[in-house]
Chain A
């Protein structure tokens, strides 16, 4: 339909700090959306609480900025109710992997067709720089009083272990790469996860653009094939193991798609096996009443609740 990236942007002034990696994520996202040419009305951007979560109002598509950590269940309720919608979650590392970690795992288990984009700045930006769950042990970023006493969670490994069927890493300042990865993630049928390394110049003075430049490298898909091509378990297992191994590499951080398995049925597909009419008729698209009356007529009531109905047999 020929929408340009700027058509996916609102006119609001953006209140991130100068040099914040979130700017890069925003522009790669709108680029990806315009290239995918998705009807803005049929998109929903669900975002959590944090600097990252503010992205919802800079994108000119329906936005649901919700509670700290709860974007995934919000997105799940939206997507399953109306599977026609393309649902994208944006959240910080505190949001998705700290307070919302349980939901993060649950989404992988379900494989709902939702894309999750992690703004991984390794700090709690909006609350002024505390350690986030992805900050490595022993590191002391600017606002910490002492070096980090916690070990970090490995987002890629956690996503793989949870069952996400598309898992990738990209970098906020690599606009083209990030755009491509987001496109692939959105196009993937199933739960997709993108860990976006994101500089936070205000609070993370350790993981700077220079640091990321030094430590990251691109996966070359001529010799790295993350896609499970056959629906047989062997190939999936082999590629999953390789992806895990790569996820554990921490001296250098690979950018690219770690794993993609299109053969696992989505939650929606599994629902469709139980409901004959889903997703054609979804909760959002099926009528609930007839001219402000209930759909239940006395006859349908008797059919639907037959097990609870008792006729008196007096006289028999």
Chain B
């Protein structure tokens, strides 16, 4: 096998995330490409969370897929919830002590799922306890069960390493990454290095975890189980292991961010946390200068203080999700009116309202593009993967400053919370272009009507005014109709300038055969899965291309129109109900996009479901497929 899907599960607070980080780093040391996505509840302790990951030995992991080849379970809820996701002959690692646990005893499981599982077990004639389920899987699906007592591992490690009994439970989650690493036959050195990096050199923790790894490896050997994954053939020496939040934060730093405000919200806050950790690091400060990260009282203050900072001449940004963005909208309209370059990083999650706070969605496309009273120029960009997110986060400041507009960088939870092995960015590509900046001076006109983008001075350099009211060239209130018409037009006509000047690769990228009749179109986190589905279709003789829309607003109509005109089948793919990107195209080009694949369960579109959905559409059976798979 040259790729595998794995699932690691446990209750929230049990260290599943740590397991993921260590495992991804260990796999990276080995040279594999990995994409790992975290599914979790809006909860701190107790509810079920899991990691779905794809490990590839000869190409970039860019989508997730079921069924899984390996499940490593910390608890019975993981086994019950995901057991049927195992492929024929898959591996199931679990705690032998869980065998007597019954489905109805899993108190944290939601009623709907329990009822579905009860029905399923009953229809298969399988008892509702772990042991019966495991036996069934082994006998009917060829599942290889690797069961050992987790408690005995911990107590033996505890004794060997003299860990106090009250603390030994902390190493529970080490069992699952150890199991996966052992089943893939990762060298212990890789695991050790990953631990050292994760625990930042706290050798005691590294040694304790390695002791768990050794114990677990021994049990895996005893069970004569292994996951036959080919040795990695990818040729890289160094890479980054980063989440989408991390990639954006790094991009912002590269782009010259100096002020970031935020009010905590999932899935955005981790980005600010990253920056906060970094900003007070002395070596960072001496290399880059002060980067102020300010937790404020609400999102209104977040956008307002970011605007204030931008007026003082600072590259500033704020980060949020749907509910917070809604609160920022009045400020956004102010930034439009006063031509203030700010960057709002908008990580979508499941709405409306608090919706599904920790699940993914792309349903805020129109909110990002249209929210705000009055007409003004704004730019909305999106990123198809982690590396794109890095470059785009840096470039967002250039766009904002060159055109003096608010820029919304629209991302989502799937990207934010997935961790991947990311290629090293090419820093030569990062430019810092500040646009029309002047020192002010006598008679300075901040809102000069001479050019579409007026000269920008910073507070402290000159005397000039800002107001959300309509203003004259100096920034003083005036309601004069002629001035109104000129100012209004200048502010809006910038959009055309942006459309004209941005290079094509900032507007969209096309991958696959661009001469083909099939065009998949999407934006953001659907890129990887769309490309994988296309590649699979191509093996079956269907050629197609994927259009990754990067500039969502102003809409790159010319470019999209050209692409659409030569395609027979145009299919929009999106994590939403409405396939909003298709509606956007209709609005801008008057062309109806009638075919779509959508998903709005809050779980990501996976490769295994997208490919057949596309086939269904191509064969004319359906025009619209709604995907639903995934716990």
Contact = CB atoms under 8 A, between A and B. Distances in A.
Contact of A78 (B246, B294, B312, B428): B312
Given A62-B465, A296-B253, A304-B278, A283 B29 contact: no
B464 interface: yes
Task: Indicate the size class of the contact surface on chain A.
Answer: 35 or more
Contacts of B489: none
A268 to B, nearest CB: 11
A238 to B, nearest CB: 30
Interface string A32-73: 000000001110101001000010110011111111001011
A304 B238 contact: no
B303 to A, nearest CB: 8
B253 to A, nearest CB: 7
Contacts of B292: 80-81, 271, 283
B178 interface: no
Contact of B309 (A81, A294, A312): A81
Given A298-B427, A312-B31, 9 more contacts: A64-B308, A78-B311, A82-B459, A275-B285, A283-B258, A300-B287, A304-B288, A312-B239, A313-B190
Given A77-B304, A271-B292, A286-B289, A301 B236 contact: no
Contacts of B25: 310
Q: Which of B242, B256, B278, B297 has the most CB of A within 10 A?
A: B297
Given A106-B297, A313-B29, A78 B469 contact: no
Given A57-B467, A283-B314, A305-B250, A73 B431 contact: no
Interface string A276-288: 1110011110111
B30 interface: yes
A283 B291 contact: yes
Contact of A286 (B250, B258, B460, B476): B258
Contact of B253 (A80, A105, A304): A304
A67 B284 CA distance: 35
B254 interface: yes
A102 B297 contact: yes
Interface in B306-354: 306-316, 330-331, 334
A28 to B, nearest CB: 21
Contact of B312 (A41, A56, A81, A275): A81
A57 B432 contact: no
A301 B427 contact: yes
24 contacts: A41-B461, A44-B459, A44-B460, A57-B465, A60-B463, A65-B469, A66-B307, A67-B330, A70-B304, A73-B300, A74-B304, A74-B308, A75-B308, A76-B296, A283-B291, A283-B309, A294-B431, A304-B284, A304-B287, A307-B197, A310-B197, A310-B238, A312-B236, A313-B187
B459 A77 contact: no
B477 A76 contact: no
Return the 6 tightest CB-CB contacts between A and B, nearest first: A77-B308, A289-B432, A288-B256, A286-B289, A77-B305, A283-B258
A293 B460 contact: no
A288 B257 CA distance: 8
Interface in B461-476: 461-469, 475-476
Nearest to A315: B31
Contact of A62 (B259, B290, B304, B459): B459
A297 interface: yes
B480 interface: no
A274 B323 CA distance: 32
Interface string B227-263: 0000010001111111000100010011110110100
Interface string B438-466: 00100000000000000000111111111
A295 B287 CA distance: 8
Contacts of A282: 290
B14 interface: no
A313 B256 contact: no
A292 B459 contact: no
Contact of A308 (B241, B432, B467): B241
A311 B282 CA distance: 24
B18 to A, nearest CB: 14
B465 A283 contact: no
Contact of A293 (B190, B431, B477): B431
Contacts of A288: 256, 258, 289, 315, 432
Given A77-B306, A312-B31, A82 B312 contact: yes
Interface string A82-121: 1011000000000000000011011000000000000000
Contacts of A42: 460
Task: Indicate the size class of the contact surface on chain B.
Answer: 35 or more
A12 interface: yes
Contacts of B189: 313, 316
B585 to A, nearest CB: 34
Contact of B280 (A44, A275, A296, A314): A275
Given A274-B280, A281-B290, A294 B200 contact: no
Contacts of B200: 307
A206 to B, nearest CB: 30
A309 interface: yes
A252 interface: no
A308 B232 CA distance: 21
Contacts, number: 261
Nearest to A82: B312
A164 to B, nearest CB: 15
B496 to A, nearest CB: 25
A229 interface: no
A64 B256 contact: no
Given A70-B304, A76-B308, A283-B258, A275 B465 contact: no
Contacts of B193: 313
B369 interface: no
Nearest to B297: A106
Contacts of A61: 463
A106 B307 CA distance: 18
Contacts of B331: 67, 70
Contacts of B242: 308
B298 interface: yes
B394 interface: yes
A59 B188 CA distance: 70
Nearest to A314: B31
B618 interface: no
B288 A295 contact: yes
Nearest to A305: B250
Q: Which of B286, B288, B289, B294 has the most CB of A within 10 A?
A: B289
A78 B253 CA distance: 20
A81 B256 contact: no
Contact of B289 (A62, A281, A310): A281
Interface string B262-299: 00000000000000001111111111111110101110
A168 B116 CA distance: 66
A34 B307 CA distance: 29
A245 interface: no
A106 B294 CA distance: 12
A41 B440 CA distance: 10
Q: Which of A44, A281, A292, A314 has the most CB of B within 10 A?
A: A314
Given A77-B259, A309-B240, A294 B464 contact: no
Contacts of B217: none
A213 interface: no
Nearest to A76: B305
B297 A314 contact: no
Contact of B459 (A78, A287, A295, A307): A78
A82 B308 CA distance: 10
Contacts of A63: 465-467, 475
Nearest to A297: B427
Given A70-B300, A292-B432, A312-B238, A84 B308 contact: no
Given A65-B469, A294-B394, A82 B313 contact: yes
B463 A40 contact: yes
